[in-house]
Chains A and B, each alone.
Chain A
Amino acid sequence: MLQLESITRSFGDRPVLRDVGFDVPRGALTGFVGANGAGKTTTMRIIMGLLTAHGGTVRLDGKELGATTRPDFGYMPEERGLYPRQPVIDQLVYLGSLHGLSRPLARQRALDLLERFGLADRSKAKLESLSLGNQQRVQVSAALLHDPAVLVLDEPFSGLDPLAVDAMSSILRDYATRGVPILFSSHQLDLLETLVENLVIIQDGTVVASGPAETLRENHADKHRLVLDGDTGWLREVPGVQALDISGPEALIRFDSPHIAHQVLTESLQRGRVLEFSLHRPTLADIYREVIR
């Protein structure tokens, strides 16, 4: 497990990270979300040892990682880039050997990955001649080449077409299953919904929510959905009920106490037929909007 504890960092007088702490467990995908400028990239750079934290620690399986290189980590930086004018295979072999692979092994791994991404026939092409989506696949290949012990990916899904998103998801899933801790940032909340088991939400340099997605959903499942055969406008007048969204027969409401829920259901039944009364399960997008408010 990769653990961050009380990480702080500022640029000049401007604090960018304040007491950032969260876990990236093995066997699960951890999504990292937050607005632009919230501190995602800075956090990832600190994990990768590219930036020094002013306070706090990064630990892998309990062992503290200093401000050194992390040749056994796989990293995909925010602003993409490899060498545009170099053939794909050449730069992958180069990066592989910098990560400690022998050249033949690096070549073998690179070809396997390119094969998996459907790019085997482009291995000798210059990177700049590839489409953006394909360049992205090469970029991911670069992060995966050396069979990393930890994966840190900054926006791996941005700019990918639906098929590439599927390929990327399946690869990430694959590595997670092997027990590699994976942290990746994304703005595509709907994608995270089905993909991640773990979520970290950061806002203004502070972690505002983190943990297993299921737990977050449960913790934020505090709203009810009520559908009647008549108008639900009367709910606005009931004390102890927060009417969040009321339109005709449908209502999304929050109760101040379970007792009030019971009271509302009783009254609804008296007024007519109750078509639905359920605990509303929030999406990760719902949770995100709620916590960063």
Chain B
Amino acid sequence: MNSTPAWLTVTLREVETKVRDKAFIISTLITVLLIIGSIVVTSFLANRTANYSVAGGDELSLAVLYQAQQDQPDDVDLSVQNIDAGRARTDLADGKLTAVLSAGADGGFVIQGREEVPGKLTGLLDAAAQQVLTTRMLESAGINPEQLPGTDLVSVELLEGDAERNSMIQAMAFIFSFLFYMAALIFGMPIANSVIEEKQNRVVEILASAIRLRDLLAGKILGNIILALGQLLVFLGVGLGAAWLSPVQIPFLGVVFQVATWFVVFFLAGFLVLAGFWAALGALAARTEDLQQSSGPVVTLLIAILFVGIYAKGTVLVIASYVPIVSSVAMPIRLLTGTVPWWEPVLSLLIVLGFCWLVLVFAERIYRRAVMHTGGALTLRKALKLED
């Protein structure tokens, strides 16, 4: 005889059916490739330095070029060629030079390019020219430019972390919100659909005569959680792994790793609540078509969460990080700032788990009553009036 508990048999079936589903495998693979691809492209773009080779035809131009070389940013590699004008022209025509800089008669400069001059180079040279000219004018007036108030007299300090960290938070906020939204739909909807399928076909009568409906529901929810979590871990793992392996130094990777762990925990809790919603919705429906109408509120809620995750700031975000389901994305996003005390996520987690328990107890009641009901779709109120 079989000693596998009924709920486990149901769980295994849910997982088995899904991982054998070609559409599921293909969409997972495509997403993995997209994640790897986007990280490779990002690091490639970040890594690419522009190489410019510029010739100066006169003393002033060369001074500007050397100044520019000194000031060049990390992603620019400027080499200066000290050659005569004639050779500079042929080299430019041959493509050996990016541009030729020469001082004009009116005190300005001319940058000569072959077909185009990169905007980055123009900007760099422009700034350098201004500095060189200013210095020379000051010197001719007998003033030491170093005595002038410097540009870094005013330094920037942000209340909410630095700019780099903020853009990391923004990117991660988007990723967390989107992952949650996707998983809630991709793995939540099937809970409802599989409940409807069994209800519509009346398989549920055979199942219910063999095992308790509670076990059936538990197995169904658990199966889809395993699938959702598995996929999430694959996505996060691939994404973080690729980011770690990429040659570019991605800042805050340590923080992101840590918060990703919190996200997985919050994700689980939030998903469990939604699973209860989906199961109840499935049980209330009579046919798959009914779900399209009744799922409206849940889908709206999910979109709202997506927006809160991406756009919410300040107090709104703090409040959101304690509201069940929304907290699944809002709290991890707050944690990215690194300034949230440890008890906050723990408290928020307790709140969502408590809420989760309520929802599941309620959902199980709805499910048990409504799933055996034959006839049309039920409203919540009607379902609660049904008896076993």
The answer to whether the Cβ of A97 comes within 8 Å of any Cβ in the partner chain is: yes
Do residues B4 and A49 form an inter-chain contact, with CB atoms below 8 A? Answer: no
B residues 165-207 touching A (CB-CB < 8 Å): 197-198, 200-203, 205-207
Is B17 among interface residues, defined by CB-CB distance under 8 A?
yes
Q: Are A86 and B17 touching (Cβ within 8 A)?
A: yes
Say whether B212 contacts A81, CB under 8 Å: no
Is A82 in contact with chain B by the CB < 8 A criterion?
yes
Residues of A within 8 A of B (CB-CB), count = 33
Interface assignment of A80: CB less than 8 Å from any CB of chain B: yes
Say yes or no for A32: interface residue by CB 8 A criterion.
Answer: no
Q: How far apart sit A117 and B178, CA to CA, in the bound complex (Å)?
A: 51
Question: A79: CB under 8 A from chain B?
Answer: yes
Question: Which single member of B2, B13, B197, B208 contacts A69 (CB below 8 Å)?
Answer: B208
**Closest chain A CB from B74 CB (angstroms):** 56
Q: Shortest Cβ distance from A22 into chain B, in angstroms?
A: 20
Question: Would you call B210 and A79 a contact (CB within 8 A)?
Answer: no
> Looking at the complex, which of A98-106, A236-244, A279-287 is the stretch in contact with chain B?
A98-106
Q: Are A71 and B201 in touch, CB under 8 angstroms?
A: no
Chain B contact residues (Cβ within 8 angstroms of A): what range? 20 to 34
At the interface, yes or no: A48 with Cβ under 8 Å from chain B? Answer: yes
- Considering the complex, give the chain A residue whose CB is closest to the CB of B208: A50
CB-nearest residue of chain A to B385: A12
Contacts of B13 in A (CB 8 A): 94
Establish whether residues A67 and B206, one from each chain, have CB atoms under 8 Å apart when the complex forms: no
Instruction: Please judge, given known A-B contacts A71-B210, A95-B210, A99-B210, whether A83 and B201 are in contact too, CB under 8 Å.
Output: yes
User: Among the listed A70, A81, A83, A101, which residue makes an inter-chain contact with B2, where contact means beta carbons less than 8 Å apart?
Assistant: A101
> Is B205 a contact partner of A77 (Cβ separation < 8 A)?
yes
One of B10, B201, B206, B387 near A52 (C-beta < 8 A):
B387
Per the bound structure, the CA–CA distance linking A199 and B205 in Å amounts to 25
Chain A positions within 8 Å of B212 at CB level: 69
Bound-state CA distance A51–B198 (Å) is 17
Contact flags A45-75 to B (C-beta < 8 A → 1, else 0)? 1001111100000000000000101110101
Q: Within the complex, which residue of B1, B200, B374 is in contact with A102, where a contact is CB–CB below 8 Å?
A: B1
B146 interface contact, C-beta 8 A: no
Q: How many A-B residue pairs have CB under 8 A?
A: 74
Kindly identify which residue among B197, B205, B372, B387 contacts A75, using a CB–CB cutoff of 8 Å. B205
Do A49 and B209 touch across chains, with their CB atoms under 8 A apart? yes
In the complex, B90 has a CB within 8 A of chain A: no
Given contacts A51-B388, A102-B2, contact A79 B206 (CB under 8 A): no
Set A77, A80, A81, A97: member contacting B4, Cβ < 8 A: A97
Asked if A142 is an interface residue, CB under 8 A from chain B, the answer is: yes
A-facing residues in B1-17 (Cβ within 8 Å): 1-2, 4, 6, 9-10, 13, 17
Is A248 part of the contact surface with B, judged by Cβ < 8 Å? Answer: no
- Centre residue among B13, B203, B212 by max chain A CB count within 10 A: B203
Contact of B211 among A48, A71, A81 (CB under 8 A): A71
Q: Which residue of B lies closest to A85 (CB)?
A: B197
Chain B residues with CB under 8 A of A86: 17
A99 to chain B, nearest CB (A): 5
Q: Restricting to B261-281, which residues have a CB under 8 Å from any CB of A?
A: none
| Residues A34-51 near B (CB distance < 8 A) | 45, 48-51
Task: Tell me the complex Cα distance, A81–B2, Å.
Answer: 24
Q: A233 within 8 Å of B by Cβ?
A: no
A100 and B202 contact, Cβ closer than 8 Å, known pairs A69-B210, A71-B211, A79-B374: no
8 contacts between A and B (CB under 8 A): A49-B209, A50-B205, A69-B209, A73-B209, A76-B206, A79-B201, A82-B203, A82-B206
The 10 closest A-B pairs by CB, nearest first: A81-B201, A77-B205, A81-B202, A48-B209, A79-B202, A98-B210, A102-B2, A71-B210, A77-B202, A75-B209
